[in-house]
Structure 1
Amino acid sequence: MRANAPLHVHVSTLFMVLILVVGSLLGFVGYRMADRLISSVSADLAQRISRETSAELRLLTEPAHTALQLLQFDPLAGLTRFEQRMARLPLIKATLDHTPASASIFFGYPTGDYFFVRRLHDAQEREQFQAPAGAHYMVRSIERQGATPRGRQLYLNSQMQVLSALSVPDYARSYDPRNRSWYRQALRNSEVHVTDPYLFYTDRQVGITLSRQSRHASGTVIGLDIQLRTLGAGMARQKLTPHSQLVLVNAQGEVFAHENSFIVPRGGTHDRPALTHLARFGVPVLTELSKHLQLSQVPATGSLQQVVSLPDGSWQVTLNSLPMLGSTPLLLINAVPRHELLATVYQEGRFAIIAALLIILGAIVLAWRFARGISRPLSGLVKEAESIRHFDFGQTVPLRSYVLEVNTLARTVGEMKRTIRQFLEISSAISGEKHFDRLLPRLLGETVSAVNAAAGVLYLREDGGLKPACAQGIDGQAIDAAALQRLHRLALPNPKEPSAAPRPAQDVPLLGLALSQGRVLSGPLQPVDMLTLGLSELGEQPWPPHAMAVPLLNRQRDLVGAMLILSETPSEKDRASFLGALSGTAAVALEAQALISEQKALFDALIQLIANAIDTKSAYTGGHCARVPELTRMLAEAACEAREGPYASFHLNDEGWETLRMAAWLHDCGKITTPEYVVDKATKLEALYNRIHEVRMRFEVLKRDAELHCLQGILEGGDEAACRQNLARTLTELDEDFAFVARCNLGSEAMAPEDQQRLLEVAQRTWQRTLDDRLGLSPLELQRHPQDVALPLPVTESVLADKPQHRMERPVHDQMPKDDRWGFRMAEPKLLYNQGELYNLRVGYGTLTEEERFKINQHIVQTEVMLRQLPFPPHLTHVPEIAAGHHEKMDGTGYPKGLHHEQLRPETRMLAIADIFEALTASDRPYKKPKKLSEAIEILNRMSQRGHIDPALFALFLSSGVYRVYAERFLDPSQIDDVPVTTYLAATDGTRLAQRADPAAARTLASSSA
């Protein structure tokens, strides 16, 4: 979440940031310039150091070179005896004394002899060579005249007097000058040969050797060793900073000179000198540099600069190539820590930062005072904006500022508050109105009031034109419906289905132009406009002279209506803009309400379509689904009007009435799944047809068999009178038995035990079947047939039988689920249907078997399952509960869930009474006669006493007169008789309600229902 701060803080911060940025840029530019300058100066200093180091190398090598040029002519090169060679020591001593860099002079002879003279500079060297005190020179000699080489080592003082002489045979055996590189290279060249720097065999010091052939004796090579340790002292004097590193390396990166000569490690042998590489020197910057060092990158006469980054800081490194006389060029490395190199720059930068901070502090004080003056009015505007954010559109606080834009903003904010307040008030009023008929005048009235207009007319699109839907006069009152009819209907441009002689909208210049352009227009209202619109026909009242035409366009930019707003003064631009913004909201609200109304009408039509389909599917249910909602509504109205008793506090709002009406229409929607022949079963043997005809035919066969038996007896000589007498008796018995079976088939009376016994006796009669009963059967019927093959014919069968093929197993999909999530409590028969003849005829009461009764009762299960699957909106969530509960009983013995009184909603209990009363009194069901009014009330009374229906609601049904109002509307006059209401009310503990029953109220209810 971003942090917020006042304006004066932002202004002060802006000044501070600007100064800081400018100062930082200046400091950065200065730092970069100083960095470049110091880098350039460090490069120049490195070049100077390189030149001075190169000059020092020349000072070391040039005198030695000159001395060697002179010694090539000395006869010492041709002497063969040790004593002769010793005689030439004064010359060698003089040469060493006048060439300070020379460490030793030696002669290598072609015979393998070797004569070596070294100067001992200090006590450290004397100790190193184990020389006695006072020794200044050391002589080593190897002579190979005999079989065994002779080695000598002599120590001499400054006057060249021998102080000590030693025999060194090991030295003579191990050292042969002819094998040394300086000897062999000199023989190959006629000039002086200079070796690369290496570690001397004698003292392990870094140096170079100059050698050349003697001009006096062929095959003799004169050599001169020069130590480079003095370079370190000179390099130390050239250090730029205390921690700078000056290193002299060869082409392989091996260190042989450092500004601190004591830290240069060395080792190895004379044959394989071991100079330490930069990577192992122990200095981090040199170790890092060794990873990228390539001598070929350094110009032969120039330098190369690099920046090496280490964890403890960066180093400025300069590399210079140093040519050496007759040798491979060397590389001088000058590494300087950048924080030391740029110390002055850092100091100047700190000073600049301190100065910038002081300037910033001063600027903040000035900016703070300046910003406070500017921000005070803005703080007031912030409070105004906060009030808008909290939807507080109260009094606007006047604000003044020296800044023109702030004053303009303050006025704009005030106007914005007023506009938003008006817009929200209108939007709230529009959205809060749920009835389309009441929405129209409210929308027009709010709009007229919002723009301070005087009157207005609202048009709705209908049948290709604009029809006046409502109007408001200059007195602020809505124009009545009769006057509204006199306003003219306007036609849209190019209507598809123009009505009779409509007035084209183009005849109204202002409105027609606004509709064609799709935007709000304003202008004066001309007399022709008054005439065209029909305003002049509404009376002599003076209409306002100015108008604003507002087309109402939906989200698809389709015209849904228009408003004509009339005002006393010309409309300002802000009014038109406000109406333009409001028109979209109004159009969407109109469209939404119209769409909701249309969807409700469509849904209601679908519901009634389903109910009518159920009634049409079976003539035995008649108009049951259409009459039950009406009776339920009448009973609910009586409950809402009750002032005492259990239903005194009962009330239904608009959503409640919609829920009740929808549940009543859908209460039997599950009957769509119930087979028609089960619902319409009027006799016990009826399936898809009445099987009593099959039984009748069997009795006819038995009667023919009796006649044939009589005739056969006469033909065989029997007594004709006796035979005919037996025939008459048999036929009479058959007729009586069939008449009894036919009477049992009706199911209009309860079956007595003796009747059930007689059916079993009648079933003992048999007849002969001579045709295969498998012929002509469908595959499904054959599956139920028990015999795989036909039985031998003829077959003796009972006249009434329960055969295996009469039993139909219940399929899996028709079984109640084990984990019933609906909470149904209904005993499910094992079979789907049992069409056994005896089984059906022996039904105790009515025509339905246990399986068929379950199938019919199952419609209520399907009702709830079907309705629960519909996505009802929240205010209709109780529709499935009410619709599927009308077969529940107050004592919990009903179905499908066995709910008790307190678990049932009042609407459900009302629907139950309406369903029963309508079924008892319906006169359009061919399978039964309708009950008279008194009979139906008596049945309801018994059900009330048994806890099947709500007693209090039954008392209200009687005391309010709903039963009689319904009877007068839907029952045949012959069914209406007197009902002892007082007796029933007393029996249901409703005497007090009976005493307060008002016949006039019943008549009022009847008139309102009609």
Structure 2
Amino acid sequence: MPSSYNPTERGWYRDAQARRHAIVSPAYTFASNQALGITTATPLAAAAGVFGIDLTLNSLQAFLDQLALTPHGAVAILDDERRVLGWSNRGAIANDPGLQPLAPLDSATEPLWQEAARLSATLQAGSARFQRLAGVPYAAARQVIEPLPGTRFEVLLFAPQADFMEGAVQTRNRMLGSMLVVMIVLLPLAWLGTRNVVRSLQTLARNSERIQRIDFDSPPQPIESHLYEVDVLGQSQQTMYQSLKQRTEALELAQAKLSQIVQTGIELGRQQDRTALLRRALFGARDVAHCQAATLLLKTERQTLRFALRTSDDPIPDFELPLYDPQGQPVHQYVATHVALTGETVVIDDIYSETRFDVSGTKRFSESSGLRVISTLNVPLQPQEGEIIGVIQLMNALDPHTGQVVPFDPEIVSFVEAIAAQAAVAIQNQNLLDAQKEMVDSMIQMIAGAIDAKSPYTGGHCERVPELAIMLAEKASAVQEGPLAEFAFRTEDEWREFRIGAWLHDCGKVTTPEYVVDKATKLETIYNRIHEVRMRFEVLLRDAMIERLQAIHEQGMPSAEADARFEARRTQLLDDFAFVAECNLGGEFMAPERTERLRRIAGETWWRHFDDRLGLSHEELRRHEREPAPPLPARESLLADKPHHLIERASTQAFHPKYGFQLKIPEHLYNHGEIYNLSIGRGTLTEEERFKINEHIIQTIVMLERMPLPPNLKRVPEYAGTHHETLTGTGYPRRLTADALSVPARIMAIADIFEALTASDRPYKKAKTLSESIKILSHFKKDRHIDPVLFDLFLTSGVYREYAQRFLLPEQIDEVDITPYLG
């Protein structure tokens, strides 16, 4: 396969997407192996993609070469442009028609094929007639097949009339010679037999006309004549009729089975459900082979064959057939394992006389099921010369006329192998789709786990919220009355869409710095800047010590007075630092008087003797250059809000009006001003930092809406991005009201809040009990921040307790009286 190959750019992919139904492509060159062929393609549900199956012209040619034709017959299959897809001929017309694959039939160089091309252009579809070709009488038939709207294939059959009437012509010539003698010698007697001969000849003529029309509704009228020659001619006509009928029926059967193979391929391409796909493949093989029963065995990763499906209602065996023995040697003693190991098709006419393989298991099945298996056909499932993925076993071929069990006709093997190949490709493609889904789901869970691992302050939040959301969604889907009666996830795609949305509900947190999420004190950034502030107090205390010594030794101040002044200063600095450190913790509300004292302390000054612009990164130095550097030594405030504390907000498309976000965006990205941070009224976060944390939901929505999600995942951004909205329009980021919030979005809000309340792996808070968490959640219901109907279902269905037993610590689980919170 070329590295540049992209199936979505192929004509069959675009046609299937555009027409929105199954199509059969014109013949073209495959990119994988440069072979000519056609592709059957059908769009997947919800425009998720296109499923295609390839059929090479080589396989079609091989099929035509095996067709049972008359000794000098020929057949050709054309597309709707009258290009030759395949041809076969026999006997005297076995000359090469001079046609290349996909060449128009009219371009044939062999004269007989040239005349056949002209004849087919005038012959109506579904009709047949006798016509002279190259001076020889021929029987010709033309049939048009339309497996799908807009797709036509033409089958052209022709054979010399002599193939059917050679014996009759010879007999007729002998009879005419004898009649001439009789007329000359026995003319008087001839008149007596005229009426009988005329009637016989008229019957022969009528029979011949019916044969010419390919009319096989009833056998030809028998000839009763006292003349030997007429009687022999009638018998020859009967023989010709039977021969022509058998040949025509064989061609019609081959055509029907070819159509059935095409139809089965189309249906396999449409299937997205794995079980339905396997059933269609198995039942399609059974129908083509016209047998009593079929079994499908699939290869496992353990190098065994497991029974996957049966056409009968018998229980599927729970054991597996090993492909290799304990010594690693291949197991060829069983027919199924032999086929899986070698890729050979095996036909058994009678298992009770079989000596090549151990068929004891099949005999036991016969005894236990009541279906006496006699003949079997075992075909490998092998996609495009790749690894064998399973085996189809067909049992008891049935005679189409008597219904008796007979051996499998060798001519049917190629048809079954064709269906098996189609099924193998379809199963392999389904396996690839399942593997891709599993990989995507695993990657999504890996991202969620990485977000949880990023900060101990979020713990296992991204893992537990989806579990709780799905538990509540299952209960809501089961409600049959009330406001939730119309809600339900009815398909696996809808459930998967919700699961992915729940797993990704906090994916935007990858953009949130850990030091903001984990900010435990007001001065904390990458580290707690209280250490810088304490060092400044240390400098002031050291200055006080120096002033004490200078006062005693240079100014002559009494030691007692100097000591008293120093002790007072020391006490003041210790008290002021303790106050600043307390403000840094954010445990108390910053009343106006506390803010005023903080500003008074900030007014203290100290002398800086070193250049504060040395050793800075380029970005940090750029911020310092917003103001000129003062000469050293420089007098510095004990606490300050400086220009370089302001971090500019970069331009971003995340706040584009098209997203509909209704949030007040702070002017700066961060403000690290010391007074500004220490003056925070409650908690430890500034307005900028709180916005940055809330911004994770904005980033979640933007990231997900920018992704090229398929139609069956289009609601993932909605499910992931609405859990901070409220029914009253006071939530964020879009301030949606109740009318804009779906049931899944409301479920996500409850799951997100309850998980945060009950989480026991947060380093900044003590784990709440189950009853405390339910009580707090009831306040959200009262304020219409969450859906009251879903909250009541959350309680009455027992989801809260089921979740607690799975994820809460034993000491958190206490008795909860839900009665006060209902209604």
TM-score range, shorter chain: 0.5 to 0.7
1:644-685 deviation digits (Å, cap 9, x = unpaired): 332122111211110111111111112222222222222211
Tell me, yes or no, if the aligned pair for 1:514 and 1:549 is still in contact at 8 Å: no
CA distance in 1, matches of 2:577, 2:713: 55
CA spacing shift, 1:702–1:8, aligned 2, 3 Å: closer
**2:440 paired residue among 592, 599, 603:** 603
CA spacing shift, 1:471–1:892, aligned 2, 3 Å: closer
SS at match of 2:315: coil
| Relative contact order, higher structure (CA 8 A, sep 6+) | 2
1:442-461 deviation digits (Å, cap 9, x = unpaired): 75466446645455543323
**1:506 paired residue among 324, 327, 332:** 332
Counterpart of 1:770? 609
**Aligned-pair CA distance for 1:559:** 2.0
1:488 pairs with 2:321: yes
**2:376 paired residue among 547, 560, 578:** 547
Counterpart of 1:583? 420
CA distance in 1, matches of 2:781, 2:342: 68
CA spacing shift, 1:521–1:728, aligned 2, 3 Å: farther
Tell me, yes or no, if the aligned pair for 1:7 and 1:371 is still in contact at 8 Å: no
Tell me, yes or no, if the aligned pair for 1:520 and 1:551 is still in contact at 8 Å: no
CA distance in 1, matches of 2:239, 2:722: 73
**Aligned-pair CA distance for 1:783:** 0.7
**1:969 paired residue among 792, 796, 806:** 806
Gaps of 5+ in 1: 19-368, 381-399, 492-498, 991-1010
CA distance in 2, matches of 1:675, 1:561: 51
CA distance in 1, matches of 2:271, 2:287: 17
SS at match of 2:729: coil
Tell me, yes or no, if the aligned pair for 2:298 and 2:308 is still in contact at 8 Å: no
SS at match of 1:696: helix
Relative to structure 2, which stretch is displaced further, 749-758 or 696-705?
A: 749-758
TM-score using structure 2 length: 0.65
CA spacing shift, 1:717–1:807, aligned 2, 3 Å: same
SS at match of 1:504: coil
1:685 pairs with 2:523: yes
1:131-175 deviation digits (Å, cap 9, x = unpaired): xxxxxxxxxxxxxxxxxxxxxxxxxxxxxxxxxxxxxxxxxxxxx
**2:499 paired residue among 658, 661, 683:** 661
Q: What are the within-5 Å matches in structure 2 for residues 433-512 of structure 1? A: 434-436=272-274, 440=278, 443-444=281-282, 447-448=285-286, 451-463=289-301, 465-470=303-308, 472=310, 476-480=312-316, 483-485=317-319, 487-491=320-324, 500-501=326-327, 504-508=330-334, 512=338
TM-score using structure 1 length: 0.54
Tell me, yes or no, if the aligned pair for 1:554 and 1:588 is still in contact at 8 Å: yes
CA spacing shift, 1:814–1:754, aligned 2, 3 Å: farther
CA spacing shift, 1:981–1:510, aligned 2, 3 Å: closer
Tell me, yes or no, if the aligned pair for 2:347 and 2:408 is still in contact at 8 Å: no
Query: Quick one: which amino acid aligns to residue 476 of structure 2?
Result: A
Structure number, greater radius of gyration? 1
**Aligned-pair CA distance for 1:717:** 3.7
SS at match of 1:467: strand
CA distance in 2, matches of 1:513, 1:696: 81
Counterpart of 2:648? 809
CA spacing shift, 1:471–1:789, aligned 2, 3 Å: closer
1:734 pairs with 2:568: no
Counterpart of 1:837? 674
Counterpart of 1:672? 510
CA spacing shift, 1:586–1:9, aligned 2, 3 Å: closer
Query: Quick one: which amino acid aligns to residue 313 of structure 2?
Result: Q
**Aligned-pair CA distance for 1:891:** 1.7
CA distance in 2, matches of 1:870, 1:824: 19
Query: Quick one: which amino acid aligns to residue 459 of structure 1?
Result: L
CA spacing shift, 1:897–1:531, aligned 2, 3 Å: same
**Aligned-pair CA distance for 1:632:** 0.7
**Aligned-pair CA distance for 1:603:** 0.6
1:755-777 deviation digits (Å, cap 9, x = unpaired): 32332222122222222211211
1:402-432 deviation digits (Å, cap 9, x = unpaired): 9779745763576368647865886687567
Tell me, yes or no, if the aligned pair for 1:457 and 1:565 is still in contact at 8 Å: yes
Counterpart of 2:400? none
1:709 pairs with 2:547: yes
1:884-914 deviation digits (Å, cap 9, x = unpaired): 2222222222222222121122111111211
CA distance in 1, matches of 2:767, 2:129: 96
1:779 pairs with 2:618: yes
Counterpart of 2:487? 650
**2:721 paired residue among 865, 884, 906:** 884
**Aligned-pair CA distance for 1:615:** 1.5
Paired residue total: 602
Q: State the identity as a percent.
A: 44
Tell me, yes or no, if the aligned pair for 1:674 and 1:856 is still in contact at 8 Å: yes
**Aligned-pair CA distance for 1:806:** 0.1
Relative to structure 2, which stretch is displaced further, 889-898 or 450-459?
A: 450-459
**Aligned-pair CA distance for 1:790:** 3.6
Q: What are the within-5 Å matches in structure 2 for residues 895-974 of structure 1? A: 895-974=732-811
SS at match of 1:468: strand
Query: Quick one: which amino acid aligns to residue 802 of structure 1?
Result: D
Tell me, yes or no, if the aligned pair for 1:683 and 1:747 is still in contact at 8 Å: yes
CA spacing shift, 1:841–1:812, aligned 2, 3 Å: same
Tell me, yes or no, if the aligned pair for 2:343 and 2:382 is still in contact at 8 Å: no
Tell me, yes or no, if the aligned pair for 1:440 and 1:469 is still in contact at 8 Å: no
SS at match of 2:427: helix
CA distance in 2, matches of 1:8, 1:585: 29
Counterpart of 1:751? 590
Tell me, yes or no, if the aligned pair for 2:466 and 2:499 is still in contact at 8 Å: yes
> What RMSD in Å do the two structures reach over aligned CA positions?
3.9
Query: Quick one: which amino acid aligns to residue 458 of structure 2?
Result: T
CA distance in 1, matches of 2:126, 2:363: 65
CA spacing shift, 1:701–1:913, aligned 2, 3 Å: same
CA spacing shift, 1:409–1:910, aligned 2, 3 Å: farther
Tell me, yes or no, if the aligned pair for 1:810 and 1:832 is still in contact at 8 Å: yes
**Aligned-pair CA distance for 1:598:** 0.7
CA spacing shift, 1:446–1:509, aligned 2, 3 Å: closer
Tell me, yes or no, if the aligned pair for 1:459 and 1:562 is still in contact at 8 Å: yes
Counterpart of 2:48? none
CA spacing shift, 1:379–1:914, aligned 2, 3 Å: farther
CA distance in 2, matches of 1:409, 1:829: 87
**Aligned-pair CA distance for 1:720:** 3.6
CA spacing shift, 1:683–1:814, aligned 2, 3 Å: farther
CA spacing shift, 1:748–1:955, aligned 2, 3 Å: farther
CA distance in 1, matches of 2:628, 2:282: 85
1:264-309 deviation digits (Å, cap 9, x = unpaired): xxxxxxxxxxxxxxxxxxxxxxxxxxxxxxxxxxxxxxxxxxxxxx
SS at match of 1:611: helix
Query: Quick one: which amino acid aligns to residue 941 of structure 1?
Result: S
**Aligned-pair CA distance for 1:472:** 4.0
CA spacing shift, 1:625–1:521, aligned 2, 3 Å: same
CA spacing shift, 1:461–1:935, aligned 2, 3 Å: same
1:791 pairs with 2:630: yes
CA distance in 2, matches of 1:460, 1:11: 46
Gaps of 5+ in 2: 1-79, 82-119, 136-205, 218-237, 397-404
CA spacing shift, 1:464–1:6, aligned 2, 3 Å: same
**Aligned-pair CA distance for 1:379:** 12
CA distance in 2, matches of 1:633, 1:449: 42
Query: Quick one: which amino acid aligns to residue 566 of structure 1?
Result: M
Tell me, yes or no, if the aligned pair for 1:7 and 1:375 is still in contact at 8 Å: no
CA distance in 2, matches of 1:530, 1:768: 99
